[in-house]
Amino acid sequence: MPTLAALGDPHWKEWKMQTVVGGGPVLVYDGKVRVTNEEEGLFIHGEKDIHPRSAIGYTKDGRVIVLAVQGRTPGIASGVTLAEEAKVLLDLGCYEALNLDGGGSSCMLVNGKETIHPSDKTGERPVPSVFLIKVSHPVK
| Closest among 46, 71, 66, 47 to 55, alpha carbons compared | 66
Structure confidence by residue, pLDDT tens digits, 63-101:
999 999 999 999 999 999 999 999 999 999 999 999 998
Opening angle at CA 71, ends 68 and 74, nearest 5: 150
Question: Which segments of the chain have a pLDDT < 70?
Answer: 1-8, 11-15, 17, 138-140
Cis, peptide link before residue 25, omega less than 30° from 0:
yes
Ramachandran quadrant class, 2 (left: phi over 0; alpha: psi -120 to 50; beta: rest): beta
User: How much is the pLDDT for 76?
Assistant: 93
CB 26, CB 98: distance < 8 Å? yes
CB 73, CB 116: distance < 8 Å? no
Q: Can you give the C-alpha Rg of the chain in angstroms?
A: 17
Residue 1, Cα to own-chain centre: how many angstroms? 25
**Could you give the C-alpha distances from 128 to 27, 113, 131, 132, in angstroms and in order?**
23, 20, 10, 13
